[in-house]
Amino acid sequence: MNMVWLLLLLLYISEGSSGHEVVKVGAIFSLTSVNGKVSKIAIEAAERDVNADPSVLGGRKLSISIHDANYSGFLGITGAMKYMTSGTVAIIGPQDATMAQILSHLSNELHVPLLSYTALDPALATSQYPYFIQTAPNDQFQMAAITDIIGYYDWHDIVVVYTDDDHCRNGMVALGDKLEERGLKISSKVALPPYPTATRTDVRDALLKIKTMESRVIVLHTFSKTGFLVFEVAQSLGMMEAGFVWIASSWLSTVIDSYSPLPLKTTNSIQGVLTLRLYTPSSKRKRSFISRWNKLSNGSVGLNAYSLYAYDTVWMIAKGLKELFDQNGTISFSKDERVGSLSGESLDFSSLGIFNEGKELLNNVLNISMTGLTGPIQFLDRYPLHPSYDILNVVKSGMKRIGYWSNYSGLSIVTPETLYERSANHSTSSQQLSSIVWPGGSRIKPRGWVLPLDGRRLRIGVPHRVSYQEFVTPGNGNGTIRGYCIDVFTAAINLLPYAVNYEFVLFGDGEKNPSYFELVNNVALKEFDAAVGDFAIVTSRTKVVDFTQPYIDSGLVVMVLVKKLNSSPLAFLRPFTPMMWIATAAFFLLIGLVVWILEHRKNNEFRGHPRTQLVTILWFGFSTMFFSHRENVVSTLGRCVLVIWLFVVLIINSSYTASLTSIFTVQQLSSPITGIDSLISSHVPIGFQVGSFAESYLSEQLNVQKSRLIALGSPKEYAAALKNGTVGAIVDEQPYIDLFLTEYCDFSIRGQQFTKSGWGFAFPRDSPLAVDLSTAILTLSESGRLQKLHDKWFSRKSCSSGESDLEQLQLQSFIGLFSICAGVCLLALLLHFFLTICQFNRQLKRDPEASPSTSGSSTSTPTRLRKFLAFADKKKNRKTRYSKRKIEDNNAFPSERRQDFVN
């Protein structure tokens, strides 16, 4: 017997001497939860696979101890403390974000990395927790995917139902940030008690609140037990019918993957719901692991995405340790002197040690590059590279994949790894999803909102106008309201794909136009559900309400009194200013003189008695006004000058005719006001319409003194105030003035619109009805129906409302033409003078007798000038063509006979 014990002792010693070094790793999960069950199976499988490959840890063994937190933060913390006092190099977990935040502080002190694929709170992915690594994409990417889905279907606001704990609350913050980046918003957040304390009553109260809201797009971010309770209650309340949109975070796909098929009651309550699942690309290793899963789990639970991440997380730790050992690193711990003084306390913290190689292991994991069951594994700024999700639609047969979401390229119906080969494209046109079966079995995309289901009709405020009732006017005592604005609203509301139950409510006492600012404020305060009428879309109003697309252009204009042009015997002189008339007459004389000079030596029609030549100059110059000159122009220079001048005359005649026609057919203003600038500087009283924003605009934006502003209530008051001089001008919106001018033709608009706006219908902020009505108004405009409605109410002929101040034509308008003509005349005269001198010099050389005496200088210059003037005045006969010999013979004749010989 003693020999047996001796052999056993020797065997134990020999095993101890030849045993392998054990590397301890801890794991903290609630093992009865879905993720806890699959994590335990996957971690143990990964542990066996790592230890079966001696090339990974060099003969060392990986020992993973799994601690059951049992949904208790206290048990989770005690488990972590146990690991950190027993030489553990890394901890997988914890499972929830609240515990992760607490343990991360301890991990920072002891340099023990925490690796979690379930605690995906975006707040944990910060530099505050350097030793905490999320090995799966955190929830900010899931919320980005949900945001892209909402934007893809053009929903503008949503309701969020979430569990009120750190994990879900921070996820909602991330969702709100992502929605805000897209111009979308969360209209309401409904919190449920922390898991697992939410009761059916809590859920029912929350859903009843949501049912009275406009939004029908509901995002559910919670845990499985609470989530299924929400769907069960929602079905009983009729909130799983057509028109509702439910988007559940990845918890739903996780449960369906793990426990499919679900009970029939549960399955019926989630039909049409959208959910997400962490995407993992297909691979040979993944298919092999899936085939092993039933054996590993003994059929107790199905494989889900988190089991794949659990398996890869173990391998990430193993690869990090391998890198550490390959660098000749060891595993060692040192005492923390700060806790040494606590060794005598009831809780002994003295055994807590700092993992000396913890930072190296952390960096090795963050710098890892490997391929696991979840695909390529690599970190970029502490985030997994290319986070991706499956977009799933719950149908009777289970879950149908309708597309994918990738942080690289957004929504698509092709696998993310295919898109990695292309350039990133997040444009709206590139986003795509397959068809969806929505709650209630509908395949038509829900519009995402409804009118409030409180059993009442929409109360729409309408201004009770006493003037310009063509826009809005009460009916014939039967409670109806008519007018152009009402017809536009009715036509637009009829184009909506759903019925809107509403009633018009008059606002005002009927004795004067109501305050439009007060009516708009009542819409903002929800006293009215909308306001329909002639509401100008101005900045002060858009700050408190939303407006539809404008259905008519508008803007402030200035209107003044006008009078007919007085008849006058000299009315024909009005097109040109006096200076213009003088300049024109001078040029007629100038042209006559220039042409006479150029034609005098060659053209018999420009020769004769001096009195005759003077008459010819005057006649020729002025006859060009009517292109009726009868004298032929034979010289080249004369023709050039005449062509240019006739072009100038053509322009002058056309301008004169057009201006004279306008003067006799268009009214002229009796006011010196030419627009808003001259009106402000004139200091005359200014009229405005009661209730219009013109008063505040003039006083606040243009700094017009309020003492100059006079309120007027009707078109008759407009006309009377302008005629008796109570106001010098009226500032009002263009549509009112256009309607006013259809009856009152003694007035006119001065200048252009000095504000640009339009009229729209007012709704409370973020009202989806405003968006749908805007689309309907655009449809009316594109189809031409909007113009037909305008013509129906305003088809009468209007007085001239354009710019009627036809000023006289100034000399400056024609100075360019006159300058060109004068330049051509000057050039022609210089050229003519030069040619004449050259001819005169040749004549002197051919006829020495005609040369002046050279005996004295005092008499030579006058004699030469007189001979030149006589030569210039002498007619130059046109020569026939002779041969060179005949010309030379001709030069041999005496000078007194040449004139008779030459034809």
Q: Please state, in angstroms and as integers, the Cα–Cα distance from residue 37 to each residue in 47, 293, 313, following that order.
A: 16, 13, 16
In our burial notation (b when 16+ CB lie closer than 10 A, e otherwise), range 458-489 reads bbbbbbbbbbbebbbbbeeeeeebbbbbbbbb
Q: Rounded to whole angstroms, how far apart are CA atoms 819 and 741?
A: 44
How far is it, in rounded angstroms, from Cα 747 to Cα 775? 38
Number of domains in the chain: 5
Exposure of 87 in the CB half-sphere (CA atoms within 13 A): 10
Q: Does any domain span residue 708?
A: yes
**Residue that has been written with the tokens 């301008």 in this structure:** 655
d(CA 381, CA 140): 14
Last-in-domain residue among 645, 665, 685: 665
Same domain flag for 621 and 717: no
State the Rg of the chain over Cα: 49
In a domain? residue 902 = no
Q: Is pLDDT above 80 for 393?
A: yes
- Return d(Cα 280, Cα 390) in angstroms, integer: 9
Whole-number Å distance between alpha carbons of 515 and 465: 10
Residue range of the domain that includes 651: 571-665
What sign has the CA pseudo-torsion 619, 623, 629, 635? positive
Q: What is the CATH number of the domain that holds 358?
A: 3.40.50.2300
Q: Are 735 and 534 in contact (CB under 8 A)?
A: yes
List, for residues 313-353, the tens digit of each pLDDT value: 999 999 999 999 988 878 888 876 665 554 444 445 666 78
Tokens of 601: 């030596």
Q: Count CB-CB contacts under 10 A for residue 58.
A: 12
Of the candidates 352, 266, 340, the residue with the CA atom closest to the CA atom of residue 88 = 352
Whether the predicted pLDDT of 825 surpasses 60: yes
Q: Shortest CA distance to 644 belongs to which of 600, 576, 590?
A: 590
- 869 domain-assigned: no
Residues 110 and 87 in one domain: yes
Q: What per-residue string of b and e applies to 328-341 under the rule 16 or more CB within 10 Å gives b? A: eeebebeebeebee
Do residues 874 and 601 lie in contact, with contact meaning Cβ atoms separated by under 8 Å? yes
Question: How long a stretch of residues is the chain?
Answer: 903
- Kindly state the tokens that stand for 558: 């200035």
Report pLDDT digits (tens) over 251-301.
999 999 999 899 999 999 999 999 999 999 999 999 999 999 999 999 899
Residues 720, 675 share a domain: yes
The answer, yes or no, to whether residue 566 has pLDDT greater than 80, is no
3-state secondary structure 713-750: CCHHHHHHHHHCCCCCEEEEEHHHHHHHCCCCCCEEEE
Are 740 and 687 in the same domain? yes
Contact between 471 and 484 (Cβ < 8 Å): yes
638 has pLDDT over 90: no
Least confident range of 156-170, 581-595, 748-762? 581-595
Q: For residue 196, is the peptide bond before it cis, meaning its omega torsion is within 30 degrees of 0?
A: yes
Residues 291 and 264 in one domain: no
Can you tell me whether residue 197 is helix, strand or coil? Answer: coil
Same domain, 177 and 264: yes
Both 150 and 195 in one domain: the answer is: yes
**CATH number, position 505:** 3.40.190.10
What whole-number distance in Å separates Cα of residue 676 and Cα of residue 754? Answer: 7
Question: What is the phi/psi pair of residue 410, to 5°?
Answer: 80, -145
Q: Is the pLDDT of residue 406 over 70?
A: yes
Domain check: are 640 and 728 in the same one?
Answer: no
Q: Are 94 and 117 in contact (CB under 8 A)?
A: no
- Of the candidates 223, 254, 209, which has an alpha carbon nearest to the alpha carbon of residue 96? 223
DSSP 436: -
Q: What does the pLDDT average to over 859-871?
A: 65
Q: Is a pLDDT exceeding 50 seen at residue 886?
A: no
780-801 per-position pLDDT tens digit: 999 999 999 998 888 765 554 4
pLDDT band at 752; cut points 50, 70, 90: confident
- Residues 311, 371, single domain; the answer is yes
Q: Which three-class secondary structure state does DSSP give residue 181?
A: helix
- Classify residue 654: in a domain, yes or no: yes
pTM of the model: 0.68
Mean per-residue pLDDT over the chain, rounded: 83
**How confident is the model over 176-191, as pLDDT tens digits?**
999 999 888 898 999 9
Q: Are residues 72 and 90 in the same domain?
A: yes
* Paired tokens of 870: 């006589």
Q: 743 and 771 share a domain?
A: no
- If asked whether residues 162 and 258 sit together in one domain, one would say yes
- Residue 836 falls within a domain, yes or no? no
